[in-house]
Structure 1
Amino acid sequence: MTGIHTRHWPGDSDRPALALHCMLASGSYWGAIAKRLEQRVDLHSFDMPGHGRSDDWQPKADDPDYHTAVTRMAASFINRPLDLIGHSMGATVALRIAVAAPEAVRSLTLIEPVLFAAAADTQQEARDREMGHLIAKGEMEQATRLFLATWGAQPYDKLPAAMQRQMCDRIGLVHSAGETLSHDHANLLRPGGLEAIDAPVLFISGERSPAVVHGIADALAARLPDVGRATVPAAGHMLPITHPDEVAGLVALNLDRA
């Protein structure tokens, strides 16, 4: 994986785990979760292309779309069944792996997977349209403001200038990946796909998160054979960063179920 920055928090070598971060962030925030898991798992992560310390996303004409590329990167970490943890976009990658290769997953923890195709939501559809309109006009700062107003831990104006610039540079990736998530181009919702996941699955949501994430969890959970649900009080979409104690405790519960 040339140009991809990997991260590792050592733990039980018999319990490999992989954690996948959200858009406009990096794998670094899993460090707080790993610390609270107290080496129960041997946790790896990586910074998606264009994020954190990884190189920019510069696909060639014959390269796969962004979501597919990240999924292949994640799959390259798997050489035996492991505990898979994902947040937001990362959770949809984790789910894609579990649908494609259920035998590779020991447990699956999904923190607000943004598979918008699973649950129609007029507010989210309006956000997608506005985002696309702003990006088409080259108004990246306004597009970033719009995104963070719904999905960020802090408003745009409260972020350091360097972080603002980084996010504006990446916002096109968010929009392009969002197209895949809104139309299920990866076919995650195909008949029998979710039903074949026999590992214990846990959905973690923030109480204050957008309504669409709760609708997505409802729709996906209804099709899974072994599923749990948890809502973190007073939390929003960035709960692995804002509420690491609660998130780590819930991850640990799902590890125990496996």
Structure 2
Amino acid sequence: MTLTIPELTRWRIDGAEVAYTDSGGDGAPLLLIHAAGSADWFTPLAALPVLKGYRVIRMVRAGYTGAPAPDGLSIADHAGHGAALLRHLGAAPAHVLAHSSGTTIAMQLTFDHPDLVRTLMLSEPPLVDSLVAPEDLEAIHAMLGPAIGAAMAATARGDLPAAFEVFMAAVCGPSFREVMTSALGADLVAAAEDSSRYLFTGEIPAINGWSLGRPAAARLRQRVLLIQGSASPPPFHRLVAHLAGLIPGATVATIDGGNHLYPFTAPEQLAGLITVFCGPA
């Protein structure tokens, strides 16, 4: 499959480079914040005609543009980049959709800049200590700890392909490469692998330094939709249920047959949830 991808616009903020595509128009803004491992998690979604009434802004985060990211970027820093981008584009308040690690940025954006966020859609937040259901914490450490350790070791010795392989297989399953290649094409998958250093040197430390407590979650006043795949491992489902109990009024939707890769395998289903939850563009 070959996607027609709009050219990225590059923009600098606070010493960091971010990039974006912007469909333009006067529809309701929809900001897409991608997950770890690739800038193109939402590229298939952004191309769907069903979203053409929205002003779709696909953000490429610092560390994923090809330019070096400043050392020590925090989740709050990334959230600040998103806020600055929305203001720069005159695109607030926006519906905000984020997947996996991107959901930590989306939540922080909403905490820090509530006036910029109209609704918040959190798609399978990551299996990290501050978000997982307490009963899963030990099992998650046992499941993901060795893989992340191996990825970090591979990065330290300069073997990014090995680091990318072990991390993505642990988080997304052993068929991740075939799924991504089918959705994006081999060139974009190779580019994600080649540029994955920031994931291991910057993004994982930033996420490990971020936390969500019950008081912070209770401050969310926007409508919140939590999204999960029906075929995702049970810890994802328990994480979503746990967050639904922390966030006032949050609702849950399920992508039938989807796992953590559903932005690639089921973008049409995801778009359908967006249009129902966000309403007319």
- TM bucket normalised to smaller: 0.7 to 0.9
Using structure 2 for the length normalisation, give the TM-score: 0.76
Which residue pairs with 1:207 in the alignment?
230
Q: Which is further off, 233-242 or 162-171?
A: 162-171
Equivalent in the alignment of 1:114? 126
C-alpha separation between the residues in 2 aligned to 1:155 and 1:197?
33
* Matches of 1:18 and 1:94, distance apart in 2: 10
Pairing partner for 1:55 from 66, 76, 84 = 66
Q: Contact 1:9 / 1:31 at 8 angstroms: preserved in 2?
A: no
Q: Is the 8 A contact 1:12 1:39 kept in 2?
A: no
1:166 aligns to what SS in structure 2?
helix
What is the distance in 2 between the residues matched to 1:156 and 1:240? 14
- The answer as to whether partners of 1:197 and 1:225 remain within 8 angstroms in 2 is yes
1:85 and 2:97 matched? yes
- TM-aligned CA distance change 1:242 to 1:16, over 3 Å: same
- What is the rounded CA distance, in whole Å, between the counterparts of 1:238 and 1:178 in structure 2? 19
Out of 152, 169, 176, the position equivalent to 1:149 is: 169
Q: In structure 1, what is the Cα distance between the partners aligned to 2:231 and 2:121?
A: 19
Partner letter of residue 114 of structure 2?
A: P
Letter in 1 for 2:242: A
In structure 2, do the counterparts of structure 1 residues 19 and 58 end up closer, same or farther at CA, with 3 Å as the change threshold? closer
Name which of 130, 140, 143 aligns with 1:124.
140
2:203 is equivalent to residue 177 of structure 1: yes
Report whether the alignment pairs 1:32 with 2:45: yes
Equivalent of 2:247, from 224, 239, 255?
224
User: Are 1:7 and 2:21 an aligned pair?
Assistant: yes
Q: 1:101 to 1:4 in 2, by over 3 A?
A: closer
1:140 counterpart residue number: 160
- What do residues 33-58 of structure 1 show as CA deviations (whole Å, max 9, x unaligned)? 4534343321212222343xx23334
Corresponding residue of 2:210: 186
- Secondary structure of the residue aligned to 2:168 is helix
Question: Does the alignment pair 1:94 with 2:106?
Answer: yes
1:239 equivalent in alignment to 2:237: no
Give the counterpart letter for 1:148 in structure 2: M
Change (3 A) 1:172 1:225: same
The change in CA–CA distance for 1:168 and 1:191 in structure 2 (over 3 A counts) is same
Aligned counterparts of 1:157 and 1:200: Cα–Cα separation in 2: 35
Cα contact 2:94–2:119 (8 A) shared by 1 = yes
Could you tell me which amino acid in structure 2 is paired with residue 173 of structure 1? Y
Q: Per-residue CA shift, 1:148-202, capped at 9, x if unaligned?
A: 2233484447857755653444444323423433x4x234x23421111111111
State the match for 2:6 in structure 1.
Answer: none
Let me know the Cα RMSD of the aligned residues: 2.9
**Number of residues paired by the alignment?**
249
Q: Is the 8 A contact 2:48 2:268 kept in 1?
A: no
Tell me by how many angstroms 1:66 deviates.
5.2
Do the aligned residues in 1 keep the contact of 2:98 with 2:122 (CA within 8 Å)?
yes
Distance in 2 between residues matched to 1:4 and 1:130, nearest whole Å? 29
| Residues 205-214 or 132-141, more deviating | 132-141
**114-123 vs 75-84, which moves further:** 114-123
TM-score normalised by length of structure 1: 0.82
2:54 to 37, 41, 44: 41
Partner of 2:219: 196
Query: Given that residues 83 and 108 in structure 1 are in contact (C-alpha distance below 8 angstroms), is that contact kept between their aligned partners in structure 2?
Result: yes
Structure 1 residue 30 displacement after superposition? 3.9
Unaligned ranges ≥5, structure 1:
none
Matching residue of 2:5: none
Counterpart of 2:67, as a letter, is D
SS of corresponding position for 2:247: coil
Question: Structure 2 stretches of 5 or more lacking a match?
Answer: 1-10
Q: Tell me if the contact between 2:39 and 2:192 (Cα under 8 Å) persists in the aligned partners.
A: no
Provide closer, same or farther for how the CA distance between residues 41 and 161 of structure 1 changes in structure 2, counting only shifts above 3 A: closer
Residue aligning to 1:22:
35
User: Contact (CA 8 Å) 2:122, 2:227: kept in 1 or not?
Assistant: yes
1:28 deviates by 7.2
CA contact (8 A) 1:115 1:216 kept: yes
1:230-255: CA deviation from partner (whole Å, max 9, x where unpaired) = 11121111212210111001111210
